[in-house]
Amino acid sequence: MIGEVQGHRARSRRVGEDVLVQGVVTADFSEAAGLGGVYLQDAGDGDPGTSDAIFLQVDADAPFRAQVRQGARLSVRGQVTELDAGGGVRLTALVPMEVEQLGLGEVAPTVLRSPPADWEPLEGMWVRIEAPLTVTTLADLSRFGEVGASFDGRPWQPAERAAPGSDAARAIAADNARRRFVLDDGRGGRDLSVAGSVWPEGVERLRSGSEVTRAEGIIDHRHGRYRLQLTVPPVLQPQPRPAVPRVAGDLRVASLNLENLFNGDGAGGGFPTPRGARTADQLARQQAKLVATLHALDPDIAGLMELENDGYGPDSSLARFVEALNADGGEWRFVDACDRQCRRSGRGPGDDAIRVGLVYRGDRVRAVGRPATLSDGPLGPRSRVPLAQAFEPLAGGPALVVAVNHFKSKGCNEAAGDDADNGAGCWNAVRVDSASRLAAWLDGDPTGSGTDLGLIIGDLNSYAAEAPIQLLLDAGWQDAFAVAGVLEPYSYVHEGEAGRLDHALATPALAARLAGAAIWHSNADEPRDAGYFGRLHEAGPWRSSDHDPIVVGFDWTRPPASTGN
- Rounded-to-integer distance, Cα 192 and Cα 322, Å: 41
Q: What is the pLDDT of residue 537?
A: 95
- The set of residues, in sequence order, having a beta carbon less than 8 Å from that of 505 and lying 6+ positions away, is 455, 456, 457, 469, 472, 473, 477, 478, 479, 480
CB 34 within 8 A of CB 53: no
Residue 564 maps to a domain: no
Over residues 112-171, the pLDDT tens digits come to 999 999 999 999 999 999 999 999 999 999 889 999 999 999 999 999 999 999 999 999
On whether both 146 and 281 belong to a single domain, the answer is no
Over residues 206-216, the pLDDT tens digits come to 999 999 999 99
Looking at 63, 81, 104, the residue that finishes a domain is 104
- Rounded-to-integer distance, Cα 536 and Cα 524, Å: 15
CA separation, residue 439 to residues 34, 183, 189, 511 (Å): 56, 45, 51, 16
pLDDT band (50, 70, 90) for residue 563: very low
pLDDT band (50, 70, 90) for residue 340: confident
Which tops the pLDDT comparison, 71 or 67?
Answer: 71
Domain CATH number, residue 507: 3.60.10.10
- Does pLDDT of 561 surpass 70? no
Residue 159 maps to a domain: yes
Residue 538 maps to a domain: yes
On whether both 211 and 280 belong to a single domain, the answer is no
The pLDDT of 374-401, averaged and rounded, is 96
Over residues 473-513, the pLDDT tens digits come to 999 999 999 999 999 999 999 999 999 999 999 999 999 99
Q: Name which of 483, 551, 553 is nearest 515 in CA terms.
A: 553
- Does pLDDT of 564 surpass 60? no
On whether both 257 and 297 belong to a single domain, the answer is yes
Q: What is the pLDDT of residue 257?
A: 98
Looking at 104, 134, 162, the residue that finishes a domain is 104
Over residues 393-402, the pLDDT tens digits come to 999 999 999 9
pLDDT band (50, 70, 90) for residue 565: very low
Residue 562 maps to a domain: no
Domain CATH number, residue 172: 2.40.50
The pLDDT of 44-65, averaged and rounded, is 90
On whether both 347 and 445 belong to a single domain, the answer is yes
On whether both 466 and 401 belong to a single domain, the answer is yes
Residue 244 maps to a domain: no
* Overall number of domains in the chain: 3
Looking at 70, 104, 138, the residue that finishes a domain is 104
On whether both 205 and 220 belong to a single domain, the answer is yes
Which tops the pLDDT comparison, 344 or 237?
Answer: 237
Q: What is the pLDDT of residue 32?
A: 66
- Does pLDDT of 60 surpass 90? no
Secondary structure, 3-state, 396-436: CCCCEEEEEEECCCCCCCCCCHHHCCCCCCCCHHHHHHHHH
On whether both 195 and 257 belong to a single domain, the answer is no
Residue 44 maps to a domain: yes
At position 113, the amino acid (one-letter code) is R
The pLDDT of 532-558, averaged and rounded, is 95
Residue 72 maps to a domain: yes
- Does pLDDT of 560 surpass 70? no
On whether both 129 and 224 belong to a single domain, the answer is yes
On whether both 61 and 46 belong to a single domain, the answer is yes
On whether both 468 and 373 belong to a single domain, the answer is yes
Structural domain including 221 reads 110-237
Instruction: Report the half-sphere exposure of 169 (CA within 13 A, side-chain side).
Output: 17
- Does pLDDT of 195 surpass 80? no
Residue 503 maps to a domain: yes
Helix ranges, 110-166 (H): 141-144, 158-161
Is 109 in a helix, a strand, or coil? Answer: coil
Q: What is the pLDDT of residue 65?
A: 83
CB 83 within 8 A of CB 90: yes
- Rounded-to-integer distance, Cα 71 and Cα 28, Å: 10
CA separation, residue 318 to residues 324, 340, 542 (Å): 10, 19, 21
On whether both 117 and 97 belong to a single domain, the answer is no
- Does pLDDT of 66 surpass 90? no
On whether both 78 and 121 belong to a single domain, the answer is no
- The set of residues, in sequence order, having a beta carbon less than 8 Å from that of 340 and lying 6+ positions away, is none
Q: What is the pLDDT of residue 193?
A: 78
